[in-house]
A and B are shown apart, each in its own frame.
Chain A
Amino acid sequence: MTNFAERLKALHVRTAERVAVYLQFSGRDDLPLTYDQLLRGANACAQTLKRQGIQPGEVVVLILQHGEDLIYSFWGAVLQGAIPSIMPFLTEKLSPERYRAELSALISVTRPAAIVTYPEFETEVRAALRHGDSVRSVIVAQRVEPQTGIDFDALAGFARKPEDIVLLQHSSGTTGLQKGVALSHQSVFNQLDAYGRSLALDEGDVVVSWLPLYHDMGLIAGFLMPILSGVPLVLMSPFDWVRAPYRLMQSVSKYRGTLTWLPNFAYNFCAQKIRDRHIEGVDLSSWRAAINCSEPVRWESHQVFYERFKDYGLRLEALQTSYAMAENVFGVTQSQLGSVPVVDEIDREAFMSERVAKSPSEAGRPSIKMMSSGSPLENVKVKVIGEDGRELSERVIGEIAIQSDCMLTGYYNRPDLTGKAFYDGWYLTGDYGYICNGEVFVSGRKKDMIIVGGKNVYPQDLEALTYEVAGVHSGRSVAFGLFDEMQGTEDVVIIAEVDSEDPNEHQRIADTIRQHVTRNSAIVLRYVKVVGPKWILKTSSGKTARSANREKFLMELSKDGNE
Chain B
Amino acid sequence: MSDVIQQLSAFIRTSILKQPNRVIGPGEPLISSGVIDSFSLMDLALFVEDTFGVRIEDTELNAETFDNLTQLASLIESRK
Asked if A pairs with B, the answer is yes
Closest to B57 in A: A244
Residues of A within 8 A of B63 (CB): 92
* Distance (whole angstroms) from the CB of B53 to the closest CB of chain A: 14
Is the Cβ of B18 less than 8 Å from the Cβ of A562?
yes
A residues in contact with B43, CB < 8 Å? 273
Total inter-chain residue pairs, C-beta < 8 Å = 59
Interchain CB contact (< 8 A) of B19 among A92, A453, A515, A563: A563
Nearest-neighbour CB distance to chain B for A221, whole angstroms, equals 22
A511 to chain B: which residues have CB within 8 Å? Answer: 22
Please provide the chain A residues from 488 to 513 with a CB less than 8 Å away from any CB of chain B in the complex.
507, 510-511
Q: Which residues of B30-54 are within 8 A (CB) of A? A: 31-35, 37-43, 46
A273-B46, A515-B33, A519-B34 given; A242·B20 CB < 8 A: no
Whether B39 contacts A242 by the Cβ 8 Å rule is yes
In the complex, B58 has a CB within 8 A of chain A: yes
Collect the chain B residues with CB atoms within 8 Å of residue A519's CB: 33-34
Q: In this assembly, does A269 line the interface, its C-beta being within 8 Å of a C-beta of chain B? A: yes
A243 adjacent to B37 (CB under 8 Å): no
With A242-B38, A515-B34 in contact, do A26 and B59 touch (Cβ < 8 Å)?
A: yes
Contact B35 A453 (CB under 8 A): no
Query: B18 contacts A526, CB within 8 Å?
Result: yes
Contact bitstring B5-37, A, C-beta under 8 A = 1, else 0: 000000000000111111100000001111101
A243-B58, A273-B46 known; A93-B34 Cβ under 8 A = yes
Q: Are A518 and B22 in contact (CB under 8 A)?
A: no
Q: In the complex the two chains form, what is the Cα distance from A511 to B23 in whole Å? A: 10
Name the one of B18, B32, B61 contacting A243, with C-beta atoms under 8 angstroms. B61
Task: Say yes or no for A528: interface residue by CB 8 A criterion.
Answer: yes
A27-B59, A244-B58 given as contacts; is B32 within 8 A of A92 (CB)?
A: yes
Contact among B22, B34, B42 with A273 in the assembled complex (CB-CB below 8 Å): B42
Contacts of B37 in A (CB 8 A): 93, 518, 524
A239 and B61 CA atoms in complex are apart in Å by: 10
CB neighbours (8 Å) of B20 from chain A are 562-563
Minimum distance in angstroms from B27 CB to a CB of chain A: 15
User: How far, in whole Å, are A562 and B23 apart by their CA atoms in the complex?
Assistant: 15
A275 neighbours in B (Cβ, 8 Å): 46
Report if A161 contacts B (CB, 8 A): no
In the complex, which of the residues A240, A518, A524 has the most CB atoms of chain B within 10 Å of its own CB atom? A524
Give, as a whole number of angstroms, the nearest-CB distance from A455 to chain B: 12
Q: Is A426 an interface residue, CB under 8 A from the partner? A: no
Which residues does chain A contribute within 8 Å of B23, judged by CB atoms?
507
Interface residues of chain B: helix, strand, loop or mixed (majority): loop
B22 closest partner in A (C-beta): A507
Residues of chain B lying within 8 A (CB to CB) of residue A239: 38
> Cα distance A93–B31 when bound, in Å?
8
B41 / chain A contacts, CB cutoff of 8 Å: 243
Partner among B18, B34, B42, B58 whose Cβ is within 8 Å of the Cβ of A518: B34
| Cα separation A528 to B33 with both chains bound (whole Å) | 16
> How far in angstroms is the closest Cβ of chain A from B26?
16
CA of A148 to CA of B78 in the docked complex: distance in angstroms? Answer: 51
Does residue A527 face the partner (Cβ distance < 8 Å to B)? yes
Query: In whole Å, how far is B34's beta carbon from the nearest beta carbon of chain A?
Result: 4
Tell whether A40 is near chain B: CB-to-CB under 8 Å: no
A514 CB within 8 Å of chain B: yes
Q: Using Cβ atoms and an 8 Å threshold, which residues of chain B touch A507?
A: 19, 21-23
Identify which of B32, B58, B59, B61 gathers the most chain A CB atoms within 10 Å of its CB: B58
1/0 contact string of A511-534 vs chain B (CB within 8 Å)? 100110011000010111000000
Chain B's closest residue to A503 (CB) is B21
> A452's closest neighbor in chain B, by CB?
B39
Q: Closest CB-CB distance, B38 to chain A, in whole Å?
A: 5
A27-B59, A515-B35, A519-B34 known; A562+B42 contact, CB < 8 A:
no
Task: Give the distance in Å from the alpha carbon of A243 to the alpha carbon of B36 in the complex.
Answer: 13
Within the complex, the shortest CB–CB distance from A454 to chain B, in Å, comes to: 11
Contact B38 A510 (CB under 8 A): no
B37 nearest in chain A by CB position: A524
A265 to B, closest residue via Cβ:
B39
Q: Which of B35, B39, B41, B43 has the most CB of A within 10 A?
A: B39
Contacting B at CB under 8 A, from A80-103, are 92-94
A514/B35 in contact, CB under 8 A: yes
Contact B21 A563 (CB under 8 A): yes
Q: How many whole Å from B13's CB to the nearest CB in chain A?
A: 10
B17 to chain A, nearest CB (A): 8
**CA–CA, A273 to B47, complex, Å?**
11
Question: Does the CB pair A453–B21 fall under 8 Å?
Answer: no
User: Which residue of A is nearest B38, CB measured?
Assistant: A242
Q: Which residues of B contact A92 (CB under 8 A)?
A: 31-32, 63
- When distances are taken between beta carbons in the complex, the residues of chain A under 8 Å from B19 are 507, 510, 528, 562-563
Given contacts A510-B19, A527-B18, A528-B19, whether A242 and B33 have CB atoms under 8 Å apart is: no
Task: Rank and list the top 8 A-B pairs by shortest CB-CB distance, nearest first.
Answer: A518-B34, A244-B58, A524-B37, A243-B58, A93-B34, A243-B61, A242-B38, A562-B18
B: residues with CB less than 8 A from A are 17-23, 31-35, 37-43, 46, 58-59, 61, 63
Known contacts A27-B59, A507-B21, A562-B20; 6 additional CB pairs below 8 A are A239-B38, A243-B38, A510-B19, A524-B37, A524-B40, A563-B19
Chain A interfacial positions (CB closer than 8 Å to B): 26-27, 92-94, 239-240, 242-245, 269, 273, 275, 453, 507, 510-511, 514-515, 518-519, 524, 526-528, 562-563
> Would you list 29 pairs from A and B whose C-beta atoms are within 8 A, ordered by A residue?
A26-B58, A27-B59, A92-B31, A92-B32, A93-B34, A94-B34, A240-B58, A242-B38, A242-B39, A242-B42, A243-B42, A243-B58, A273-B42, A507-B22, A510-B22, A511-B22, A515-B33, A515-B35, A518-B37, A519-B33, A519-B34, A524-B37, A524-B39, A524-B40, A526-B18, A528-B19, A562-B18, A562-B19, A563-B21
